[in-house]
Structures are given as C-alpha cells and as structure tokens.
Amino acid sequence: MSQAVLADTETAPGARMDLLRFATAGSVDDGKSTLIGRLLYDTKTIFADQLEAVEAASASRGDEYTNLALLTDGLRAEREQGITIDVAYRYFATPRRKFIIADTPGHIQYTRNMVTGASTADLALILVDARKGLVEQSRRHAFLTSLLRVPHLVLCINKMDLVDWDKAVYDKIADEFTSFAAKLEITDLTIIPVSALNGDNIASRSENSPWYDGPSLLHHLEHVHIASDRNLVDVRFPVQYVIRPQSTTVTDYRGYAGQVASGVLKPGDEVLVLPSGMTSTIAAIDTADGPVDEAFPPMSVTVRLNDEIDISRGDLICRPHNAPAVAQDIEAMVCWMDETAPLRVGGKYAIKHTTRTARTVVRGLQYRLDVNTLHRDEQAGQLQLNEIGRVRLRTTVPLLADEYRRNRTTGGFILIDESTNRTVAAGMIIEAQ
C-alpha cells in the first residue's frame, strides 16, 4: 500500500448527504474488486483491522501486493476459488454523498446478478482491461445497463499503467465502446482511464494521463446529476398496507401506506384509484413526524382520502388524466434466472408487480435475444438461465402497469415458481393493455 495517496478527508461525512446507488460489472480479471477496494481505501472507508486481515491473507497466499480484492470477496468459497459468487453490497461516503455499491460478479453464468444489481442502480460502472480492450462481456454489460435503464454509465479503462498510459489505446477502446453504446439507449456515458491498483484517476486526477481532461472517478460519482432521473410527472402510489388503528384514542382512521413510485402528491389533489376507477381527493399525507405538504419519490407515507372507498393492498392511486394501463396482456423483456428449469411457453408462474401479486401464463416467446450480438432468435422455444427474451404474458387479474422505459417501478416485475418459491425471472414491460 506504499504507493497509496490518501484523498483529503475534508470534513467527515455528515447527516445531510444524498444517496447514489451504483452497480459495478467486469470480467474476472479486470480488476473490479481492486477498484472497489481502492475507492474504499481512498475514502478511508477501510478500517485498520480489515486492512490487517487483508494484508495477512494476501501474504499467506503469496500475493506480491496487498490484494484489495480480498476485502470484497467475503464467502469461504470465493476466497478459495478467487472469484466473486454473489452480489455484495458495499458502502462508503464522502462529505457530498453516501454511496451504495452493488458489486456484481462478471462471469458469464452470473448475468442474473448484474441484472439484480442494475435494477436499483442510478449508475453502472463497467471495467475493461486496457490490454484486452472490449470483450464479449463488456458489450453484454453495456446492453444489460441499457435494458435495465440505468440512467448513467461509466466505462473505466483499467490497467492503463500496463500499456504505459498510451493515449492511442484509450482512444481506440473509447471509440469502439462509444459506437457500440450508440446502438443502445444509453443517455449518459463517461469514459475514464484508470489504474485501480495504483489509484490513478480514482480519487484524484493522475499525472500519468496529462492528455485526459475529464474527472477522476470519485469526482464524477460525487457530482453526476441524479436528481432529474426521478419521474416527478406521473403520480403513481401503489398501496402497500392499510393502516386502521384498533384503538380507543385514534378512531375512524383509515390511511393507505406506501412508497411514492413517481410523481408528486399534494393534499387537495384529485385522485383516481385503480383498478376500481373511483375518484376522490387527498385529505392528508401523513408520516410519523406529522402531515406533509407533498410527497415524492422515494418517500414512504400514508395517504388519507376524503371519500370512503374500498381500497386494499395492490391498488394504485394516480391522477385522473394520467393513469397507467389496467392490463392483463403484457409484452415484456424477461431475464430468466432459474437454473433448475427453463422458461417455457404455457408455463404458469406467480407474478409480483409493485405491491400486487397475481398469477400469469406465458402465452408466447417472440424471440430470444443474443446479448452479445443483439441477434433475435425467433425459433427459440424456451429461455435457459441467464437468457433474455421477449414474452407475452396473460395475468389472472389486471396489473396497473407502465412501460418500463417510462417508469422503473411500475414497469418492472418478477416471476416466482409456485412450487419452489424461487424468484425465476425479472421482467421489464414493453407494452401493457
């Protein structure tokens, strides 16, 4: 660790920061764990006892340098095999932001982990090895980022020290990736040359890349503008739980508890309740700290209405002129996540969409998508583990659904195998009617 340059601590992380969630992806040897270890180390998130443990473990493995990857690979099998098996969550903070990292393994068999990590991410970070350039996996990860509609993408071209910080190497990879990304719906792309091992362009700009005039990785993570990523236009409030105190002190209270999926709710607003189609107005928006003037994502609140309407879990509160589809026929992209059985046409599953659970049957599989070439195989009869395809579903009760591209909360769903209870697929709605 002798080469490490510690970032200035400035002031300690405080009580008022905002929150950025990001997912990292890379191939086994791209140095992803080292990069995360470096971010944690340079933001002083790694503690002395953790570092001691890692140093001891590195020494006993005969590693030449302190293997920061050992910080993130926590399971016995991972340490033994030197691979990352499962999504691991990491935390660090700077005075500006708290960060949650979903660290996802890169090997081919773990696409489902990348999809899982990306589902809640504001930003995806993809690593490539400067010596190898883009590989099949880099393209797959970029595709999954766009499929899951992660709003920001960062490509770190790592191990630049091993190509003597050659600008031409950076340019070639950057050009190739940019043209690939143009085919996908990626709105915000930033490309940074780094050496995770030595800390170049991680916490601060490196002197080794005078030709690079962009931000360091940490600076970018701290400053990337995420406030406007939220949908504040379409009011969507899935009812989670009805609060009705059985008490002598609080009488006649009936509140609809939930987390605002999108839009801004205010007392007095006219609302439409689905699927019943009844309308009312918002009487109050309560929290345990008292009523609030407005509620927006990601607030968890309790909404009270001025009319007595029958509303239960799984219903949705929206505005009369801006409502989601009330739909039993769903077109969606799904990523199959079960290794024990494939998705097949005619298969029946439980479907969980917002706070509503129903049953569904797979009516058709239009195509299976090759995530490396984006080729569509229309002859495919099923989807195996980690395969992605476009399906047509019919549900037993209507879902209150939006297109995923417009709303990640009311556009996403999971399928559950009803006999094993395993979560077998992630779905993103293309069209609902």
Partner 1 sequence: MSQTKPYRVSHLDALEAESIFVMREVMAEFERPVLLFSGGKDSIVMLRLAEKAFAPARIPFPVMHVDTGHNFAEVLEYRDSRVATLGLNLVVASVQEAIDTGLVRELPDGTRNRIQTPVLLAAVEKYRFDALFGGARRDEEKARAKERMFSFRDEFGQWDPKNQRPELWGLYNGKHHPGESIRVFPLSNWTELDIWHYIAKEQVPLPSIYYAHDREVVERNGMFYAVNEFIKLRDGETSEVRKVRYRTVGDASQTAAVLSEADTVDKVIDEVAATRITERGATRGDDKVSEAAMEDRKREGYF
Contacts to partner 1 from residues 104-163, by CB under 8 A: 112-113, 115-116, 119-120
Closest CB to partner 1 among 65 and 89? 89
| Segment interacting with partner 1, rule: CB under 8 A, options 23-31, 326-334, 345-353, 387-395 | 345-353
From 19, 59, 182, 374, residue interacting with partner 1 (rule: CB under 8 A): 19
What SS3 class is residue 32? helix
Least spacing, CB of residue 385 vs partner 1, in Å: 11
From 5, 59, 75, 182, residue interacting with partner 1 (rule: CB under 8 A): 75
Closest CB to partner 1 among 100 and 162? 100
The encoded tokens of residue 34 equal 């080292």
The encoded tokens of residue 187 equal 């709105």
Least spacing, CB of residue 408 vs partner 1, in Å: 7
Long-range CB pairs of 244-253 (<8 Å, 24+ gap) are 253/304
Nearest to 398 by CA among 299, 326, 320: 326
- Binding positions for partner 1, 223-262, rule CB under 8 A: 227, 230, 232-233, 240-241, 243-247, 250, 253, 257-259
Beta-sheet strand order (sheet of 18-25): 88-93, 97-103, 18-25, 123-129, 152-158, 189-193
Least spacing, CB of residue 18 vs partner 1, in Å: 6
Q: Does 86 bind partner 1 (CB under 8 A)?
A: yes
| Segment interacting with partner 1, rule: CB under 8 A, options 168-176, 181-189, 190-198, 352-360 | 352-360
Sequence letter at residue 222: E
Residue window 27-56: x/- pattern of binding to partner 1, with contact defined by CB under 8 A: --------------------xxxx--x---
From 28, 100, 326, 345, residue interacting with partner 1 (rule: CB under 8 A): 100
Least spacing, CB of residue 182 vs partner 1, in Å: 27
In terms of Cβ atoms closer than 10 Å to its own Cβ (0-12, 13-18, 19+), residue 316 is buried
- Binding positions for partner 1, 275-334, rule CB under 8 A: 286-289, 296, 298-300, 302, 313
Rounded Cα gap, residues 162 and 129, in angstroms: 9
Gap between the terminal Cα atoms of the chain: 58
DSSP 41-93: HHTT-S-HHHHHHHHHHHHHHT-SS--THHHH--SHHHHHHTS--S-EEEEEE
Least spacing, CB of residue 161 vs partner 1, in Å: 28
Least spacing, CB of residue 399 vs partner 1, in Å: 13
| Segment interacting with partner 1, rule: CB under 8 A, options 84-92, 138-146, 156-164, 181-189 | 84-92
How many Cα atoms are found within 13 Å in the side-chain-facing hemisphere of 282? 26
Total interface residues for partner 1 by CB under 8 A: 81
Q: Each residue of 123-148: b (16+ CB within 10 Å) or e?
A: bbbbbbbbeeebbebbbbbbbbbbbb
Least spacing, CB of residue 83 vs partner 1, in Å: 12
Closest CB to partner 1 among 164 and 289? 289
Residue keyed to tokens 């309560």: 286
From 1, 4, 6, 77, residue interacting with partner 1 (rule: CB under 8 A): 77
